[in-house]
Amino acid sequence: MVSPIYILILSLAAGFLLSIIDRGGRKISLAVFYGVLAFNTALIIDWTYRFVFLHAPTLVINTAGFSAPVSINLELGMIQAFVLVFTNLTGLLAAVFLFRKFMESKVSSLILYLLLVMSVNGLVMTRDLFNMFVFLEILSISTYALTTITRTKTSLSAGFKYMMAGSVASIFFLMGVVFVYHFTGNLNLDFIHADQFAGTGLVALFMLTMAVFIELKPFPANGWALDVYQSVDSGIVSVIAVINSAAIGFVFYRLIPLMPQSFLTVFGAAGVITFFFSNMMGLKQKNAKRLLGYSSIGHMGLLMASIVFTIGAPSTVRYLIIGGFFVNHLVAKAGLFWLSGIVRQENIRGWAVLKNNRLLLVLFGVFIFALSGFPPFAGFWAKWEFVKVLIESRMFFVLGAVLTGSLFELIFLFRWLTITVKEDETQLEKITTPDSGSVFATSVFALLATVVAAGVMKYFYNFGWVQTLPAAAALIVYLLDFLPSKLKGFVSLGAVAAYGYYIYPLLESNLQLFFGVIFIVGSAINIISTLNRKNQNRGFYGFLLMMIFSFGNLLIASTYLEFFLSWEFMTISSFLLILRGQKAQRASLLYMIFSTAGAYLLMTGFSFAPALTSTSALMLSIEFVKLPLISVIVLAIGFMIKAGSVGVHIWLPEAHAEAEADVSSFISAILLKAGVLGLLMVAISCIAHAPSFPVFYWIGWIGVITALVGAFMASFQEDAKRLLAYSSMSQVGYVVAALAMITHLGWVSALYLAFNHMMFKSALFIAIAGVYYRTHTRKMYEMGGLISRMPWSYMTVLISIIAVSGVPPLSGFGAKWLIYTAFITKGWYLQAGVLFFASAVSFLYLYRLIHAIFLGQLKSEHQEIKEAPAWFIIPQYIFLAGIMVLSMFPNLMIRPLNSIAMHYFNSSISIEGLTVVSDLGYWNGNFVMHITMAIFAVPFVVLLLLRGKTQRVKQFNIVYAAERPESPETTHVAYNMYAHYRKALGGWASPRIENFWNGVAEWSHTLGDFFRRVYTGNGQTYILHIIMYIVAIYVVMGVK
């Protein structure tokens, strides 16, 4: 048990001795240097272990043989140990990162660095205000000096600005100390109390706290900090952004008990403002390090806000929130700054070089996900709990600002990530082999982030292994990535089957089972099409399994958090799958932005919801929960984003089109159903607890308009996958509308259509994947006449489009029959009219799809093309078989759905043999099928008997405008096929919603750019900002 005071003593001693030791050679001095840093870290880890596991009491060290307040005392408790572990570890690893620098630079850098680390330790442990000032000065001076470790003009100027700003803060701090002494007669925090500062005494407190706060870089008095982040060496910047900020942040935390409520509110608000504006300004930023600077400043603001606004929360939750933000920011930010040192590219576009180094790319991804607050990383849990606390204490403005700010941050971080993964790197200079030290440091931090994540999940929330399975699956497959793709495909198929076997007994109701079939069985069949992938196909199956397992976990989630966790895992994995598409940069980013906005809404909605009383699956127990109106609204919007409802659908066509061909089917057929599932859950809660505002009436309208808009948009596409994407949007619009009725028949029809849609849309997307595989194009007008070359695929598309269109006798008609009957029974007449319209419009795009690709004239380059590979054909025909069975015996599906819906409502249909009877009419699908077969057979046989007369002619054996055409390009009608309809619609056909969102994007970027102009780069202006800021805060706080 070594006293932590040795950290200070040893560091100081080594610091003084280093200049002498260095004469014996840099290796020796470096050994001492790293030895001391390692010793500090080990010592603090030892203490942390004692506090956490041995429950050691808080340690108080009196120096100079007297007890406080006569002498200075140090305190090391759990919280200090926690902060110091991370700061010392960062200090050590940053030093490892800087190894090469330290080899080359003067010995003074080593000394300064040691002093810096020492001062941080002192700052955290000391209880004496003046001592704090001393450490603060040491910290500042050593940092100023270290900023010049790389001597460029900009880093020198940035260092100077930093010094000026720091001096202002120091002056205030010192004045504060003087005044504190004047009012209280003491400088030891243990002996000073808030009530000693009543009246004029507040000035003392103001100066003290303001000085610390300025060091935390509040907006807009933080221009100096951005210049430092941008121009100083990455290793040192990581120290400033992480270690300095952490230490000063801790000082602020320590001063909180002294502050009156008026101070706290203002500081908290200033923190939120900083978070919001930094992230908004980050939107326009292209320079990687300055971007990280904005993010760092923002996160410190968030940390301050979380410290202030969680005061009323239970201490464990409070520690999770503050600690979570703290660790998350620290680990991710250090990691990213180090990466910037390795990559050495100023512009974020240059980061595409990371693609050449898989490990670094993965590390980069981990840090970006962590920083954006995705599970399993600490920021996710902190944000979840923080939102809950904010809602409980009704701080809605703070909530809005925090979530909007987070979304801004996510946008620039993921723009960076997607550019890195997708931008062409061949023009860029390759990364010079990074030294092992820097890669080591970065890797350790990524590992640390993961370990912390695992710790939180295991010890704080007691999650079982199933909840972590999605992430674990991705990790395991990542380790097995050297295997050939086909083998991994079969293993994945087995894993999905095993998972299905595992969760089957956990499904307590038929409703869960129904979605289980869509999610698990549907996915399993879809996996077959991925078996066509060649080579190693790195990364694919990990993300795929992650996504499928998170689908399943949604069904068995028994708390809001479990559900939300699986939801976020699903978002991450589907994002990464979409990102794999060749030109998916914009598409995946758009998907991520909308998904996250949706996730924030869900988080808010769940936080408003009352606690669950049952331990069964959330899907079932939600029935007994009365969701407040606000919760119903935000949850519904959040889920409708995933379901691609009109207004928030613009991610959908992009994501479907740009994802790899065999991934699109998963997104459309299965992922969209997760949104449906969520909406269904909200609706279940609303059966017994109808909200005071008819939310679902309007959702019904949104659903039918989605169906119509989707159908029209699909008709105007040239790209086959975009067409199918809009078709999915339209079809899910029907489902949403039917769900929104909250009637028995409405739900039967919604679920019937959802299942049907899963089958036909899987088949269609896989068929188009096969066509794309052969033709390498998605533009329909570049194809044509493929029926003769790809008859099997043609059959799939034919059967599927009939099923989509609702033409009897196939299963699609069942959906139409159920839906219209449901709408008319419900009394939603005009909505039914809109759906009829949408349904008629759907013929346009369905015909366009099959005609432009398979009918008409075959292109010369496709004369020898082959049928799609068997791996594509097999799953298609499994789905087709399903469609045919369901068409022949619709009651196989209607009966169970009837019973599912009867759990919530009285049945509105009766099933008499093979006939389904509703209040309005009846339908015997089986009989219709038989008649159809008969009336088809009669003319068919007649025509076959005449076959002798039939003469097959070759392509182009047509006469067109008095000539025989020869070129398929001029003869095949496919391009802009519905130009006349577009013309008829006039202004209605313009993409208003997309224009709206483009406008939103442009405005927020422009605003960000506008605010960014306060940072002129002029040191004097920056000082002026600081002074004005202090005055402004002074006025706002009302200190007299």
Partner 1 sequence: MSIWTKVLYAVVSVSVATVYGLTLGGIVRKLYARVHGRFGPPVWQPFLDIIQTYSRRVAVSHGNMFFLGPVLRLAGGLGTYLFIPVIFGSALFSNFSMAGDLLLVMYFVFFGQLGMALGAGQGGHPYSPLGIARGLAQMSAFEVPFSLAVIAVAIQYNSLNITSIVAAQQGGFMHWTLFTNPLAVIAAMISILGMNMHAPFSIVMAPQEIPIGPPIEMNGSFLSILQTNRGLFAAAKLVLFMNLFFGGATNIIEMIVKTFFIYMFSVFVGAAYPRFRPEQSFRFFLKWPAFIGVLSIIYITYLGGAS
Q: Which of residues 49-78 bind partner 1 (CB under 8 A)?
A: none
The least CB distance from residue 837 to partner 1, in Å, is: 5
Question: Which of 23, 534, 776, 952 touches partner 1 by CB under 8 A?
Answer: 952
Is 531 or 737 the residue whose CB approaches partner 1 more closely?
737
635 binds partner 1 (CB under 8 A): no
By CB under 8 A, is residue 927 in contact with partner 1?
Answer: yes
Radius of gyration of the chain measured on its C-alpha atoms: 32
3-state secondary structure 206-232: HHHHHHHHHHCCCCCCCHHHHHHHHHC
Q: For residue 612, give the 3-state DSSP assignment.
A: coil
Identify which of residues 619 and 832 has a Cβ nearer to partner 1 in the complex. 832
Q: Would you call 141 exposed, middle or buried from its count of C-beta atoms within 10 A (0-12, 13-18, 19+)?
A: middle
CB-nearer residue toward partner 1: 50 or 982: 982
What kind and span of H or E run contains 298?
helix 288-309
Residues 901 to 920 in contact with partner 1, rule: CB under 8 A: 915, 919-920
Residue among 487 and 985 whose Cβ is closer to partner 1: 985
Q: Which is nearer to partner 1, 222 or 831 (CB)?
A: 831
Which residues lie below 8 Å from residue 23, measured CB to CB, with a gap of 6+?
A: none
* Beta-ladder partners of 963: 960
**Binding mask of the shown chain, residues 789 to 828, with x at each position contacting partner 1 by CB under 8 A:** ---------x---x--xxxx----x--xx--xx--x--x-
Cβ neighbours of residue 482 closer than 8 Å, sequence gap 6 or more: 536
CB-neighbour burial class of residue 1017 (10 A; exposed 0-12, middle 13-18, buried 19+): middle
Identity of the residue, 687 or 943, whose beta carbon is nearer to partner 1 in the bound complex: 943
Residues 514-553 within binding reach of partner 1 (CB under 8 A)? none
Among 487-495, 551-559, 685-693, 947-955, which window interacts with partner 1 (CB under 8 A)?
A: 947-955
921 binds partner 1 (CB under 8 A): yes
> Is 708:841 a contact under the CB 8 Å cutoff?
yes
Based on CB atoms, which residue is closest to partner 1, 943 or 1031? 943
Nearest distance in Å: CB 575, partner 1: 36
The nearest distance, CB 920 to partner 1, in angstroms, is 4
CB of 59 or CB of 916, closer to partner 1: 916
- In the list 154, 196, 932, 1004, the residue contacting partner 1 (rule: CB under 8 A) is 932
CB nearer to partner 1: pick between 788 and 860: 788
Burial class of residue 90 (count of CB atoms within 10 Å of its CB; 0-12, 13-18, 19+): buried
Q: Total residues at the site for partner 1 (CB under 8 A)?
A: 72
Q: How far is CA 310 from CA 126, 315, 322, 808, in A?
A: 24, 9, 9, 60
The reply on whether position 107 binds partner 1 by CB under 8 A is no
Stretch that binds partner 1, among 58-66, 254-262, 558-566, 832-840 (CB under 8 A): 832-840
256-275 residues near partner 1, rule: CB under 8 A: none
Query: Are the CB atoms for 123 and 139 separated by under 8 Å?
Result: yes
Site mask for partner 1 (CB under 8 A), range 473-512, x = bound: ----------------------------------------
Q: 490, 501, 940, 1003: which one contacts partner 1 (CB under 8 A)?
A: 940
Q: Which two tokens stand for residue 1029?
A: 């800021």
Instruction: Work out how close the CB of 1036 gets to partner 1 at its nearest, in angstroms, rounded to a whole number.
Output: 56
62 sits in the region (left: phi over 0; alpha: psi -120 to 50; else beta) called: beta
Interatomic CA distance for residues 132 and 136, integer angstroms: 6
| In contact, 797 and 717? CB cutoff 8 Å | no
Q: How far is the CB of 820 from partner 1 (least distance, A)?
A: 6
Q: Which amino acid is at 278?
A: S
Distance of closest approach, residue 777 Cβ to partner 1, in angstroms: 19
CB atoms within 10 A of CB 157: 15
656 neighbors 664 (Cβ within 8 angstroms): yes
Phi and psi at residue 616, to the nearest 5°: -80, 180
Spatial separation of the C-alpha atoms in residues 600 and 661, rounded to whole Å: 30
Full DSSP string of 719-770:
BHHHHHHHHHHHHHHHHHHHHHT-SHHHHHHHHHHHHHHHHHHHHHHHHHHH
12 close to 117: Cβ distance less than 8 angstroms: no
**Does residue 167 bind partner 1 (CB under 8 A)?**
no
Which residues in 962-1001 contact partner 1 (CB under 8 A)? 971-974, 977-978, 980-981, 983-985
Closest to partner 1 by CB, 674 or 832:
832
The one among 165, 556, 841, 909 contacting partner 1 by CB under 8 A: 841
Q: Which stretch binds partner 1 (CB under 8 A): 292-300, 600-608, 758-766, 928-936?
A: 928-936
Question: CB of residue 889 vs partner 1: minimum separation in angstroms?
Answer: 15
Scanning residues 294 to 333, which ones bind partner 1 (CB under 8 A)?
none
Closer residue to partner 1 (CB): 12 or 844:
844
Position among 958, 1024, 1027, 1031 found at the interface with partner 1 (CB under 8 A): 958
Q: Are 205 and 56 in contact (CB under 8 A)?
A: no
Helix (H/G/I), strand (E/B), else coil: 917: strand
Piece of the chain touching partner 1 by CB under 8 A; list 34-42, 763-771, 887-895, 949-957 = 949-957
**Strand, helix or coil at 831?**
helix
Choosing from 256, 444, 844, 884, the residue that interacts with partner 1 (CB under 8 A) is 844
Round to whole Å and give the CA distance between 824 and 741: 11
CB-based contact 162:225 (threshold 8 Å):
yes
Nearest to 643, CA basis, from 692, 681, 604, 694: 681
User: Nearest approach, Cβ of 750 to partner 1 (angstroms)?
Assistant: 17
Whole-number minimum distance, CB 527 to partner 1, in Å? 31
Residue 816 DSSP class: H
Please give the DSSP secondary-structure letter assigned to residue 376: T
Instruction: Scan residues 705-764 and list those touching partner 1 (CB under 8 A).
Output: none
Considering only residues 772 to 791 of the shown chain, the ones binding partner 1 according to CB under 8 A are 785, 787-788
Separation of first and last alpha carbons in the chain: 49
Of positions 624, 701, 792, 836, contacts partner 1 by CB under 8 A: 836
**In whole angstroms, how close is the CB of 932 to partner 1 at the nearest point?**
6
Residues 845-884 that bind partner 1 (CB under 8 A): 847, 850-851, 855-857
Closer CB to partner 1, residue 175 or residue 973? 973
Q: Which residues contact 651 (CB under 8 A, 6 or more apart)?
A: 587, 590, 591, 593, 594, 595, 641, 644
| In the complex, minimum distance from the CB of residue 496 to partner 1, in angstroms, rounded to a whole number | 36
Nearer to partner 1, 185 or 833 (CB): 833
Using alpha carbons, select from 363, 250, 267, 249 the residue that is nearest to residue 309.
267
For residue 683, the minimal CB distance to partner 1 (Å) is 24
User: What is the distance between the alpha carbons of residues 468 and 450, in angstroms, rounded to a whole number?
Assistant: 12
The minimum distance between CB 467 and partner 1, in angstroms, equals 45
Mapping DSSP onto H, E and C, the string for 560-585 reads HHHHHHHHHHHHHHHHHHHHCCCCCH
Between 866 and 949, name the residue whose CB sits nearer to partner 1. 949
| Nearer to partner 1 (CB atom), residue 676 or residue 841 | 841
Nearer to partner 1, 49 or 927 (CB): 927
Residues of span 998-1027 touching partner 1 by CB under 8 A: none
Q: How far is the CB of 851 from partner 1 (least distance, A)?
A: 4
